[in-house]
Amino acid sequence: MKKNSTLDGIFESYLSNEKIFKNRNVLRPSYVPEKLPHRGDQIKRVGVILASTLKGGIPSNVLCYGKTGTGKTAVVKYVLKHLSEKSRELSIKEPIIGYINCGIVDTNYRVLAQLNKSIGIDVPFTGLPTDEIYRRFVEGLEKRGSLMIIVLDEIDMLVKKSGDSVLYDLTRINSTLENAKVSLIGISNDLKFKEYLDPRVLSSLGEEEIVFPPYTASELKDILSERAKEAFQDATLGPGVINLCAALAAREHGDARRALDLLRVAGELAERENAEKVTEEHVRKAKSQIESDIVTETLKKLPLQSKLVLYAIFVLTKQKGSNIITGEVYSTYIDMCQDLNIEPVTQRRVSDLINELDMLGVINSSVISKGRYGRSKKIKLTVPKKIVWDILEEDYRLKKLSKYVSNNKE
Ligand code: ADP
Ligand code: MG
């Protein structure tokens, strides 16, 4: 194939350009750093609980709470890694670790299948009754005769999607096991998820509770500085870059993941421009890029009915700007349902969907006094029309609706 000289140049300069990063992987979410500043208390508490395994004890179950990016996953993995190292050093039988990300493995069946897999038992991904794979797990674990520490990360997602039946089984499993034992570590991003749990599950799972508060701007600064030393070439970070990333992420509920993303994306932008240094300007650009990526992801995942409501709001916005009220949204929505041959939901339900879009930050709605349509709301799109349109246009189920916009495209 003939070389494309422009592209080849881009590839070559990309390959040789190590001006900015030393090791960008250090800024990725999956990287577990050697030090976790400002999490000493949480590390100690998890450590004290798990230490009992070193004398053959069964640790209490633990529930860790905190918003996203407050270091929950990092702390738990960090302590488990050190526990395994210590066990090896002392020649003690290491506990089996079963780590499950319930954000991905989010049904009771798949959790059990994954647990089987962590003890070396293959079960099919579907098909068996849940009781049967649970039974195989118990039997397999009994044969191994070990303590198993099961980490259920993002446990709130599992409970919301599939209920708490597998948790019920797991919190009772020790009464069935003779040679083996199980300890549970639950990690939740949602502080309210306890309300969804059966009280018996809650009292067992929450024997110990550890709270992860949001990081302050100055804590985020320390975290970023540590990482930046490994991730960037010397002296490539302009003055104020770390402070700005920390300040922006602190506003975003003290999220270390967001802070690291800002720093990484800012570095990538600087690299792409062939700049000598990462500047505050790069951080600001990184912020808007990350935000628009998040909005795009959120919109993509909306269920069909919500997308239809958004479509109606989008069309009305194009027609008349920001003076949109719920009644109009509903009637446009009804027209669209007819066009697509879809059963419409009630006006009340549409109202709920509008509230959900508001909570996701896609629209802004405020109650206006009683008008022609009764108690009504004024609605305004808060994300750029272009982003919304890209998502709506991409959904093949909504293709027929493009006639609502085609005659007045911007
Ligand atoms: P959570 O599980 O609470 O959502 P994570 O543990 O995944 O948060 O942390 C998000 C990112 O921030 C990860 O890359 C993690 O390594 C990093 N991080 C969080 N807390 C710290 C800390 N105290 N020191 C260094 N890095 C941290
Ligand atoms: Mg996590």
Question: Hey, what domains does the chain have and what are their CATH numbers?
Answer: 5-20+216-299 (1.10.8.60), 40-211 (3.40.50.300), 302-404 (1.10.10.10)
- Ligand 1 centroid to 395 CA: how many Å? 34
Nearest protein Cα to ligand 1, atom 13 = 29
Distance CA 244, CA 257 (A): 15
- Ligand 1 centroid to 151 CA: how many Å? 16
- Ligand 2 centroid to 135 CA: how many Å? 29
Atom of ligand 1 nearest to the CA of 75: 6
Pick the closest to residue 72 from 42, 102, 41, 117 (CA basis).
Answer: 42
Pick the closest to residue 76 from 193, 162, 154 (CA basis).
Answer: 154
- Ligand 1 centroid to 349 CA: how many Å? 38
Q: For position 10, what pLDDT does the model report? A: 60
Give ligand 1 pocket residues (Cβ under 6 A): 29, 31, 33, 36-39, 66, 68-74, 223, 256-257, 260
Nearest protein Cα to ligand 1, atom 18 = 71
pLDDT in tens, 267-303: 999 999 989 999 999 999 999 999 889 889 999 999 9
- Ligand 2 centroid to 71 CA: how many Å? 7
Q: For position 410, what pLDDT does the model report? A: 45
Nearest protein Cα to ligand 1, atom 7 = 73
- Among the bound ligands, name the one nearest to the CA of residue 70: 1
Atom of ligand 1 nearest to the CA of 39: 23
Q: For position 265, what pLDDT does the model report? A: 96
Q: Give the residue carrying structure tokens 């230490």.
A: 51
Among 36, 215, 219, say which to mutate for ligand 1: greatest number of ligand atoms within 8 Å of CB.
36
Atom of ligand 1 nearest to the CA of 27: 14
Atom of ligand 1 nearest to the CA of 37: 23
- Ligand 1 centroid to 29 CA: how many Å? 7
- Among the bound ligands, name the one nearest to the CA of residue 157: 2
- Among the bound ligands, name the one nearest to the CA of residue 249: 1
Among 41, 185, 257, say which to mutate for ligand 1: greatest number of ligand atoms within 8 Å of CB.
257
- Among the bound ligands, name the one nearest to the CA of residue 256: 1
Q: Could you tell me which residues are beta bridge partners of residue 378? A: 325, 366
Q: Give the residue carrying structure tokens 């998890």.
A: 46
Per-position b or e across 328-357, b if 16+ CB within 10 A of its CB: bbbebbbebbeebeeebbebeebbebbeeb
Q: Name the packing angle between helices 326-340 and 304-320 (round to 10°).
A: 120
Cβ contact 391:299 at 8 Å: yes
Pick the closest to residue 205 from 183, 180, 189 (CA basis).
Answer: 183
Nearest protein Cα to ligand 1, atom 20 = 71
What is this structure's pTM? 0.82
Q: For position 14, what pLDDT does the model report? A: 64
- Among the bound ligands, name the one nearest to the CA of residue 101: 2
Q: For position 328, what pLDDT does the model report? A: 93
* Residues of the chain below pLDDT 50: 408-410
Q: For position 13, what pLDDT does the model report? A: 53
- Ligand 1 centroid to 219 CA: how many Å? 12
Chain centroid to Cα 127, Å, comes to: 29
First CA to last CA distance, the chain: 39
